[in-house]
Amino acid sequence: MSGFEYANAPESKAIADIATSYGLFIGGKFVEPKKGKSFNTINPANEEILSKVGYADKLDIDLAVKSARSAFTKVWSKMPAKERGKYLYRIARILQERAREFAVVETLDNGKPIRESRDTDIPLAAAHFFYHAGWADKLDYAGLGSKPKPVGVVGQIIPWNFPLLMLAWKIAPALAAGNTVVLKPAETTPLTALLFAQVCQQAGLPDGVVNIVTGDGITGAALVNHSDINKIAFTGSTEVGKAIARSISNTKKSATLELGGKAANLVFDDAAIDEAVEGIVNGIFFNQGHVCCAGSRLLVQENVADEVLEKLQKRMSLIRVGDPMDKNTDLGAINSAEQLKRIHEISNTGDAEGANRWSPDCKLPSKGFWYPPTIFTGVSQSHRIARDEIFGPVLSVLSFRTPAEGIEKANNTMYGLSAGVWSDKGSKILWAAKQLKAGVIWSNTFNKFDPASPFGGYKESGWGREGGRHGLAGYLTSQVKESK
Ligand code: ADP
């Protein structure tokens, strides 16, 4: 490369006070798991052990649910809504005050660039608590029926791609609506949830309103199957979402499921190409592509395809891959060995099925889990890389001739979480947005999130919405049903 190179700009780890071990957060205290089992959480950028966390089984889940039930009936559901709101404000303020510490811990545990945890994950998590704090005492006026009531004790299961942010998406609306929660973070990224438990203590949140149990899928299943849970809120894979739907089908439990995606990013020939290229890069390489709404299928109009591809490759050559703690890093580590294996497996089918792979030259660190930014051209709709969610920095490029064909291809998926439209013409954008079967549609931008905006999918991308008034509705009963 010619010109100036970036000097290293590592963020300091000194602010992160990670304990050597953590218990489960039940009833406002850290307690040891009943059977004393634990597991390690590692830094995926160098495979070093960060800490040891408790492994919760059925007995621990039962204690956590009991503690949430008691807090619900005795304290939280009885508390004046205005008072509940104050706790949420307090949590939001503490998250802001401790933002740097949270960003560092998130990056160490997840592998995402510090720039992203600092500028996206943590500020958005705080924003979710601020937004829902405002709702706590206004629920009667939210158009959700007269005097809507909390559903009760909610089991919440979250993935590893945005650990603290997904926690905020789940806990903030649940608490604002008067519910209490038992939350299970993903097994590879438990640390910011445990730090959040300390924030709950710091905020003086009544004991048992928030309980955090660490563990794996078996722990998650025990939570789903506990008889005293009123609702499950899950974000994760479509496969596990389906299993959860099956296990609660004979019960009175309600559920919101935020599952997978294979979003189309549609570039029409009248789009501002340079901006579209930025949006394509953001759409698939943000957070290493570990994003359920990632723009993982680029659909580009044929007459501008060469130009888009040339500019995209040039832009990709500037992506800096490496140490997530470096403030200049664009693409960090893949979250786990297991996820890296999955990315390899699905991407390799692209080669086998005849698509053309391209990645810029980049040196990957020798330790840790890494995958270079990658695009496949010559992809057809039947290829596995055009159908399955890869959840990594891998883009499948397809083309279309007419706008109608573009829409048809975009909708040819079992998912329907998000889509992007790039065009200079407002009328074309509105026309496309109307035809696209996706819960969120961005025009001339991508991956924009706001707590006030509902997020969720169609088809196998899930049930229900999170965020905004629509998300709140999922945590309340006796509301007027929303029409979609
Ligand atoms: P991913 O592909 O993102 O790892 P998963 O759906 O496997 O997605 O995991 C998302 C969350 O669901 C994690 O917290 C995981 O521990 C949990 N989980 C996995 N299997 C189950 C299950 N059978 N029941 C409940 N939760 C589960």
Regarding whether 29 and 114 lie in a shared domain, the answer is yes
Regarding whether 216 and 103 lie in a shared domain, the answer is yes
- Among protein residues, the one with the nearest Cα to ligand 1's atom 15 is 217
* Ligand 1 geometric centre to CA of 56 (Å): 14
Regarding whether 158 and 290 lie in a shared domain, the answer is no
Please tell me if the CB atom of residue 167 comes closer than 6 angstroms to any atom of ligand 1.
no
* Ligand 1 geometric centre to CA of 197 (Å): 21
Q: If you average pLDDT over residues 345-374, what whole number do you get? A: 97
| 162-198 residue pLDDT tens | 999 999 999 999 999 999 999 999 999 999 999 999 9
* Ligand 1 geometric centre to CA of 139 (Å): 31
- Within 10 angstroms of residue 137's Cβ, the number of other Cβ atoms is 16
Regarding whether 277 and 138 lie in a shared domain, the answer is no
Regarding whether 186 and 286 lie in a shared domain, the answer is no
Give the pLDDT score at 484: 45
- Among protein residues, the one with the nearest Cα to ligand 1's atom 11 is 159
* Ligand 1 geometric centre to CA of 466 (Å): 18
Enclosing domain of residue 281: 264-450
pLDDT band for 275, please (50, 70, 90 cuts). Answer: very high
pLDDT band for 482, please (50, 70, 90 cuts). Answer: very low
* Residue 95 pLDDT greater than 60, yes or no: yes
Regarding whether 357 and 210 lie in a shared domain, the answer is no
Q: Is 292 a catalytic residue?
A: yes
- 367 lies in a domain? yes
Write the CA distances from 77 to 153, 233, 322, 366, integer angstroms.
Answer: 10, 19, 47, 52
- 4 lies in a domain? no
Structure tokens, 132: 């829902």
- 2 lies in a domain? no
Structure tokens, 6: 């970036």
- Reduced to 3 states (helix: H, G, I; strand: E, B; else coil), residue 70 is helix
* Ligand 1 geometric centre to CA of 239 (Å): 9
Regarding whether 98 and 158 lie in a shared domain, the answer is yes
* Residue 481 pLDDT greater than 60, yes or no: no
Give the integer Cα–Cα distance in Å for 128 and 148. Answer: 21
Counting atoms of ligand 1 from 1, which one is nearest the CA of 161?
Answer: 3
Regarding whether 417 and 292 lie in a shared domain, the answer is yes
| CB contact set of 334 (below 8 Å; sequence gap of 6+) | 44, 111, 288, 290, 340, 343, 369, 370, 371, 392
Please tell me if the CB atom of residue 121 comes closer than 6 angstroms to any atom of ligand 1.
no
Q: Total structural domains in the chain?
A: 2
Please tell me if the CB atom of residue 193 comes closer than 6 angstroms to any atom of ligand 1.
no
Q: What percent of the chain has pLDDT over 70?
A: 98
What CATH number is given to the structural domain containing 37?
A: 3.40.605.10
Structure tokens, 353: 């099925």
| 465-480 residue pLDDT tens | 999 999 999 999 974 4
* Ligand 1 geometric centre to CA of 339 (Å): 13
* Ligand 1 geometric centre to CA of 145 (Å): 34
CB contact at 8 A, 103 and 117: yes
Please tell me if the CB atom of residue 237 comes closer than 6 angstroms to any atom of ligand 1.
yes
- 45 lies in a domain? yes
> Which residue in 200, 292, 293, 466 is the catalytic one?
292
- 16 lies in a domain? no
Please tell me if the CB atom of residue 243 comes closer than 6 angstroms to any atom of ligand 1.
yes
CB contact at 8 A, 484 and 454: no
What CATH number is given to the structural domain containing 380?
A: 3.40.309.10
CB contact at 8 A, 460 and 238: yes
| 29-79 residue pLDDT tens | 999 999 999 999 999 999 999 999 999 999 999 999 999 999 999 999 999
Give the pLDDT score at 2: 57
- 348 lies in a domain? yes
Q: What angle do CA 285, 286, 291 make, to 5 degrees?
A: 100
- Within 10 angstroms of residue 280's Cβ, the number of other Cβ atoms is 26
Please tell me if the CB atom of residue 372 comes closer than 6 angstroms to any atom of ligand 1.
no
Please tell me if the CB atom of residue 247 comes closer than 6 angstroms to any atom of ligand 1.
no
Q: What is the torsion angle, in degrees rounded to the nearest 10, for the CA atoms of residue 103, residue 106, residue 109 and residue 110? A: -120
Give the pLDDT score at 435: 97
Please tell me if the CB atom of residue 388 comes closer than 6 angstroms to any atom of ligand 1.
no
Regarding whether 33 and 161 lie in a shared domain, the answer is yes
- 445 lies in a domain? yes
Regarding whether 283 and 251 lie in a shared domain, the answer is no
- Among protein residues, the one with the nearest Cα to ligand 1's atom 20 is 217
- 1 lies in a domain? no
Q: What is the DSSP string of 277-296?
A: HHHHHHHHHGGGG--TT---
Mean pLDDT of the residues in the chain: 96
* Ligand 1 geometric centre to CA of 244 (Å): 10
Please tell me if the CB atom of residue 205 comes closer than 6 angstroms to any atom of ligand 1.
no
413, 423, 394, 420: which is closest to 296 by C-alpha? 394
Q: Is 482 a catalytic residue?
A: no
In whole angstroms, what separates CA 249 from the centre of its chain?
25
Please tell me if the CB atom of residue 224 comes closer than 6 angstroms to any atom of ligand 1.
yes
Q: The pTM is what?
A: 0.97
Regarding whether 53 and 29 lie in a shared domain, the answer is yes
- Among protein residues, the one with the nearest Cα to ligand 1's atom 14 is 186
* Residue 249 pLDDT greater than 70, yes or no: yes
Q: What percent of the chain has pLDDT over 90?
A: 96
Regarding whether 244 and 272 lie in a shared domain, the answer is no
Probe ligand 1: pick from 187, 240, 345, max atoms within 8 Å of CB?
Answer: 240
- Among protein residues, the one with the nearest Cα to ligand 1's atom 9 is 236
- Reduced to 3 states (helix: H, G, I; strand: E, B; else coil), residue 430 is helix
> Which residue in 106, 258, 389, 466 is the catalytic one?
258
Counting atoms of ligand 1 from 1, which one is nearest the CA of 185?
Answer: 14
Give the integer Cα–Cα distance in Å for 293 and 321. Answer: 22
Give the integer Cα–Cα distance in Å for 435 and 147. Answer: 36
Please tell me if the CB atom of residue 216 comes closer than 6 angstroms to any atom of ligand 1.
yes
Angle between helices 81-97 and 99-110 (to 10 degrees): 70
